[in-house]
Every structure is written in C-alpha cells, then in structure tokens.
Amino acid sequence: MRILGIDPGYATTGFGLLESDGHGNDRLLRYGVVTTPPELPFPRRLEILFDDLTELVTVTKPDVSAVEELFWGHNITTGIGVSHGRGVILLALTKAGIPVFEYTPMQVKQAVVGYGKAEKRQVMDMTRRLLHMEKVARPDDAADAIAIALCHARSQTSMLARLKQE
C-alpha cells in the first residue's frame, strides 16, 4: 500500500510517500514540499496548491492519503489560511479518488513515538529511526508529513484494524 502523508498549509505543504506491506515493514519512497509564492493573491496560491497536489498524486499514485487535522494555536489568522489550504488539499485528494484518513497531532505522536505528548524533535528522530533514514527529513513540513504517513501505516497494522478487515 502506498500512503501519501500530508502536512497541510497554503504557503508550504509537506508530503511524504511511504510503501507499507501492512506488517510493519515501511519504506520511504519520496518526500518534499509544495510551496506557493507569497507575493501572489491568496486565491491564486490556493489554485497553485490544488494544481500541484493534483500533479503529485498523478505522479506518485498513492493508494490512500493521511492528512493531519489542524491544531488551533494562538495565531487565528494563520489558522484560517491553513484551513483554506487544508480544504483545497482534501478536495484535490477526493477528486483524484484517493481515500483520505485524518489524524490529530496527538494521534501521530502516539503512533510514532508511543507517547501522545511527545516533543516534535522526538517524533522526527523516531521517524528517522523507524524508516532507517540517515538524517531527519528537511524541511520540518516534509518530516511532519512522513510522520503522518507512518501514523497511518502503523494504525493499519493494529489489532483493531486487522479485526475490521476480517
């Protein structure tokens, strides 16, 4: 199963593509970011995000996607922009026929580190270790997307997921 992890945004959207056999054997295939130029009007940036994500799924051919749910911090203005970006991302994935699974930051931390309140650096380091990477992926948005994909891969190997498949 090819899993496309997405760390949503509108300026920078991280992505990570894993291949998982459903038995805990996961392999990182590709990662990076989709960016939009800050000088463009916001609606144009959303259009670029949609087009680039559509091209990404066409090229990478994921079976499923895992998208992080938003955590509302202190900056509401940024949160609203990211929400718009996330909506465009969900639309692009759905129009491409890619099933979407959503995970909270706490679920990602729990699945990757084993502790829902783990620090970001712990998640990044454990992701590196689990996928046998030489170094942590950069930028952070890409590293986060890889962790989100890994969260889905690990949740699909859980006993509950196996019972649902039988």
Q: How far apart are CA 159 and CA 5, in angstroms?
A: 22
Answer with the residue of higher pLDDT: 114 or 60. 60
Please list, in sequence order, all residues whose beta carbon lies within 8 angstroms of the beta carbon of residue 128, skipping any fewer than 6 positions away. 135, 136, 137
Q: What is the CB neighbour count within 10 angstroms for residue 156?
A: 21
Q: How far apart are CA 93 and CA 81, in angstroms?
A: 19
DSSP E strands in 50-164: the ranges are: 64-68, 100-103
**CB-based burial of residue 25 (10 Å sphere; 0-12 exposed, 13-18 middle, 19+ buried)?**
exposed
Per-residue pLDDT for 74 more than 80?
Answer: no
Grade residue 70 by pLDDT with cuts at 50, 70 and 90: confident
Per-residue pLDDT for 162 more than 50?
Answer: no
CA-wise closest residue to 124 among 14, 21, 8, 35 = 14
Mind telling me the catalytic residues? 7, 68, 141
CA dihedral for 113, 70, 93, 77, sign (positive or negative): negative
CATH of domain 2-165: 3.30.420.10
Instruction: Quote the pTM value.
Output: 0.90
Q: What is the mean pLDDT of residues 100-124?
A: 92
The distance from CA 8 to its chain's CA centroid, rounded to whole angstroms, is 7
- Check residue 71 and give its pLDDT: 67
Q: How far apart are CA 62 and CA 14, in angstroms?
A: 15
Helix (H) or strand (E) holding 126: helix 120-130
